[in-house]
């Protein structure tokens, strides 16, 4: 006797209905491992210019160079295998050089930013500000997550440039 009313035909109906719930997860693109070419394709689909630069060695992979409006940024692939592949972390990074030292934000201003925002802002050894976020990609990252991270980065970068009065 079947536990599903209607026997085998009923069981097939239940299984078919249950499989509908797995389609969205199965239909998602998952990058595992994530490559610079995956990022390049995503950026190109969004109409962005992108360039891939080679690895600088020391457990670092290739990196992606792009920009939003007039703001250049980099995505570094890091915590990689010795050959620069199968990286565990990507780092979105932007730095800002000031010609007028008086216009640079203070360390207090950077600390205030960090208290209320995700990501990390800092001052380099020359006193110029930078902003970065690190994204763990161990076990893969979905295209939807990567697209959302890129959108979040664009928004955060815009807020930061307004905050530091970058033009």
Give the integer Cα–Cα distance in Å for 132 and 116: 15
pLDDT value for 119: 85
pLDDT value for 86: 87
pLDDT value for 1: 41
Core vs surface per residue 142-165: b (16+ CB within 10 A) or e: eeeebeebbeebbebbeebbebbe
What confidence tens digit (pLDDT) does each residue in 105-128 have?
999 999 999 999 988 999 999 999
Mean pLDDT of the chain: 85
Question: Token pair of 14, please?
Answer: 């239940």
Question: Token pair of 138, please?
Answer: 């161990």
What confidence tens digit (pLDDT) does each residue in 67-107 have?
998 899 999 998 888 877 889 999 999 999 998 989 999 99
For the chain, domain boundaries: 1-29, 32-163
Is the preceding omega at residue 133 within 30 degrees of 0, hence cis?
no
Q: At 24, is the pLDDT very low, low, confident or very high (cuts 50, 70, 90)?
A: low
Give the integer Cα–Cα distance in Å for 124 and 130: 7
Sign of CA dihedral 140, 43, 150, 87: positive
Whether domain 32-163 has CATH 3.30.1460.70: yes
Average pLDDT over residues 16-27: 50
List, as one string, the DSSP characters of the chain. --SSTTHHHHHHHHHHHHHHTTHHHHHS-EESS--HHHHHHHHHHTT--EEEE---BTTB--EEEEEETTEEEEEEEES--TTS-S-SEEEEEEE---SSGGGSPPHHHHHHHHHHSSSEEEE-TTS-EEEEEEEE-TT-EEHHHHHHHHHHHHHHHHHHHHHTT--
């Amino acid at each position: 006797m079947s536990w599903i009313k209607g026997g085998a035909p009923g069981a097939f109906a239940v299984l078919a209905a249950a499989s509908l719930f797995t389609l969205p997860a199965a239909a998602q693109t998952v990058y595992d491992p994530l490559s610079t070419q995956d990022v390049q394709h995503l950026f190109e689909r969004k109409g962005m210019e992108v360039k891939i630069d080679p690895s600088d060695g020391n457990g670092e992979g290739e990196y992606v160079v792009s920009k939003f409006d007039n703001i250049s940024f980099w995505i570094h692939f890091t915590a990689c295998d010795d050959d620069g592949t199968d990286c565990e972390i990507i780092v979105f990074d932007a730095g800002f050089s000031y010609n007028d030292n008086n216009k640079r934000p203070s360390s207090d201003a950077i600390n205030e930013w960090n208290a209320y925002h995700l990501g990390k802002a800092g001052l380099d050894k020359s006193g110029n500000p930078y902003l970065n976020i690190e994204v763990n990609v161990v076990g893969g990252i979905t295209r939807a997550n990567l697209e959302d991270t890129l959108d979040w980065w664009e928004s955060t970068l815009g807020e930061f440039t307004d905050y530091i009065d970058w033009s």
